[in-house]
Structure 1
Amino acid sequence: MKERDAALQLDARTLRDWPLPALTGDADKESRGRVVVIGGSREIPGAALLAATAALRAGAGKLVIATAQSAAAAMVMAMPEARIIGLPETPAGGLTPEGVDALEDVVTAADAVLVGPGFSDEDATVQFVLRLLRIAARTPLVLDALAMNVQREVGRFAQPVLLSPHAGEMAQLCGDSKDRIECDAGCAADKASAWNACVVLKGAVTRIADPSGRQWAHEASVPGLATSGSGDVLAGLIAGLAARGAPLEQAGCWGVVLHSMAGARLSRTFGPLGLLARELPGEVPALMHALRPRRAVR
């Protein structure tokens, strides 16, 4: 087991000392960045909606959602702020790898891409993401859920990528046990270096590491965040912050703390359990405003 002392502890003060890229008063939606969310399936369409909502609440300026064709019409009504692209599906409900071809223009024009929330059909997902990697060589990618399994195919990434596994997903990627992953404080850093990726290893103590060896840790007791869709919201926050120009490691750190603070804020209103993931994004803009750098008083 590795020591956790190497990790910088994340809290509100840390974020104030590490401000997000500044926006001018006349900034328009283009200058706040374009984010593409690729996710959802016939049985889990809402995951993409949760992530996309969070990306906009994090301040991204323009949004494209690419989702399963069977969910596209409903998504148009649920998310009027976005351009919706329906993609062909496999018999098992995933997205066909050929669907990537329809996304080349929007992906290459994007400032950040999130792929994975709500995907089904693991084999098709891996092939889809492999094809996506080839057209997104310079675009920051946030890989979530089944999309992270592409790591077992590529080994080491050649482009900016962030993975956001919980301990069970990390155990699957590493071929290890969940218990061992939870006990190894250095796991995120080891894999970040080996995979050339930012890693956000979610848990009671969430650990973030980048390929250079920098590490951060955020510890919070917010049991209400352990709920369906919560991880989709976190992934969307990270993607939205990256679209605004934050490096992936900063987007990961800010996303983790904002997610936790939003959950804590809702818990004070509703109690510790019973939070809904769709309630979290609405807390984020005010939290970001509160975390802005404070001007010195003369």
Structure 2
Amino acid sequence: MNDASLRDPGLLDSELLRQFPLPEPPEDADKDERGLALFIAGSRELSGAALLAGIGALRAGAGKLRIATSDSIALGLGIAIPEARVIAFAEGEEGCIDASEIAALVEECEGVDSLTIGPGMRHGPALATLIETVLDRGGSHRLVLDAAALGVLPPLAEKMRGSRVGAILLPHAGEMARLLECERDSVTADPLAAAREAAARYGAVALVKGSWSFIAAPDGRSFRFRGGGVGLATSGSGDTLAGIVGGLAARGADPLTATLWGVYLHGEAGRMLTAQVGKVGFLAREILDLVPGLMERG
């Protein structure tokens, strides 16, 4: 690694991705060899987030999908994604996970290859306790944190840096401001600096999403990606990205590789939909059908 690679962000494109190949399962691999992705996601009002994230993981090539979600939506989610095993948990106050469910959820994390927490969930003390317990327990899985999970992380920064779990943070500018305990304007003024600070503070690969997205790794490497167009600024788009990244991590991609590929696939799907459908108006769910083909093209 040279000084320039630490100072200047590399351009994320298909050429760069050749340096970060995805794990390829052998032709005779079974679904276990392609990885198990677990999502703790969704709430009574945001069931679609869990659906989009879960399908995203399968489209990214994960072999098995498990979703732990609110008991109020678990049955419908299981019907909507028949490929998934759906685990119901009780919601507590204000729609957050009930504290009594934490031990059982942590047990569900045993043996998974990636764990994604946050899409469609509600903030609350129990969510912070869940993440802290996951960090304390350790494990060999990759940890992807998105949406509500990001809002409870600042008190856990030291614990995250010391954890053996490889972590990925997927905030937009507002969520990054909460992670860094600063004003949103500070993030938008220099998103690369924000990504680098978050990567160092939390010991994780950190993304700042935007028209230009910036990715930083704890070792100092950083990358920039020209976004896939304004059409990606739509409800559910972030959930699809979290699902894609979680699925790639389940396949065995390290945190940086999973993030780079996830950002690229998500953005390139946005470019294709812009050409096919229009600058705005395509749906987040339409992103996911394009992912397998884009992975083949690289």
Q: Same fold (TM over 0.5)?
A: yes
| Counterpart mapping for 1:68-147 below 5 A | 68-147=70-149
User: How far 1:136 sits from its partner (Å)?
Assistant: 4.2
**For each residue in 1:227-255, what CA deviation from the matched residue of structure 2 results, as whole angstroms up to 9, or x when unmatched?**
00100000110010000000011100000
Q: Report the count of equivalent residues.
A: 289
CA distance in 1, matches of 2:140, 2:65: 19
Q: 1:244 aligns with which of 220, 243, 251?
A: 251
Partner of 1:52: 54
1:272 and 2:274 matched:
no
- The answer to whether the 8 A contact 1:97-1:131 is kept is no
137-146 or 95-104: which moved more?
Answer: 95-104
Partner of 2:187: 181
Partner of 1:296: none
Q: Secondary structure, in 3 states, of the residue corresponding to 1:103? A: helix
Q: 1:198 aligns with which of 197, 205, 210?
A: 205
1:255 and 2:257 matched:
no
CA distance in 1, matches of 2:67, 2:49: 11
1:233 and 2:235 matched:
no
**Could you state the TM-score of these two structures normalised by the residue count of structure 1?**
0.92
| Counterpart mapping for 1:212-227 below 5 A | 212-227=219-234
User: How far 1:221 sits from its partner (Å)?
Assistant: 4.8
Q: 2:153 aligns with which of 148, 151, 173?
A: 151
In structure 1, what residue type is equivalent to 2:253? Answer: A
124-133 or 234-243: which moved more?
Answer: 124-133
1:66 and 2:82 matched:
no
CA distance in 1, matches of 2:131, 2:99: 8
Q: Secondary structure, in 3 states, of the residue corresponding to 1:70? A: coil
Q: Secondary structure, in 3 states, of the residue corresponding to 1:114? A: strand
Distance change >3 Å, CA 276–CA 258, structure 1 → 2: same
CA distance in 1, matches of 2:6, 2:109: 37
Partner of 2:168: 162
- The answer to whether the 8 A contact 2:128-2:149 is kept is yes
Q: Secondary structure, in 3 states, of the residue corresponding to 1:92? A: helix
User: How far 1:18 sits from its partner (Å)?
Assistant: 2.3
119-128 or 265-274: which moved more?
Answer: 119-128
Q: Secondary structure, in 3 states, of the residue corresponding to 1:110? A: coil
Structure 2, gaps ≥5 residues long? none
CA distance in 2, matches of 1:238, 1:137: 18
Q: Secondary structure, in 3 states, of the residue corresponding to 1:32? A: coil
CA distance in 1, matches of 2:56, 2:37: 11
CA distance in 2, matches of 1:135, 1:76: 28
CA distance in 1, matches of 2:109, 2:219: 26
- The answer to whether the 8 A contact 1:108-1:135 is kept is no
Q: Secondary structure, in 3 states, of the residue corresponding to 1:162? A: strand
- The answer to whether the 8 A contact 1:164-1:235 is kept is yes
Distance change >3 Å, CA 121–CA 196, structure 1 → 2: closer
180-189 or 247-256: which moved more?
Answer: 180-189
- The answer to whether the 8 A contact 1:96-1:128 is kept is no
**For each residue in 1:63-122, what CA deviation from the matched residue of structure 2 results, as whole angstroms up to 9, or x when unmatched?**
100000111111111110000000011031111233122233431210000000000143
Cα RMSD, aligned residues only: 1.7
**Could you state the TM-score of these two structures normalised by the residue count of structure 2?**
0.92
User: How far 1:204 sits from its partner (Å)?
Assistant: 1.1
In structure 2, what residue type is equivalent to 1:113? Answer: L
Query: Percent same amino acid among aligned pairs?
Result: 42
User: How far 1:16 sits from its partner (Å)?
Assistant: 3.1
**For each residue in 1:211-231, what CA deviation from the matched residue of structure 2 results, as whole angstroms up to 9, or x when unmatched?**
111111111351100000100
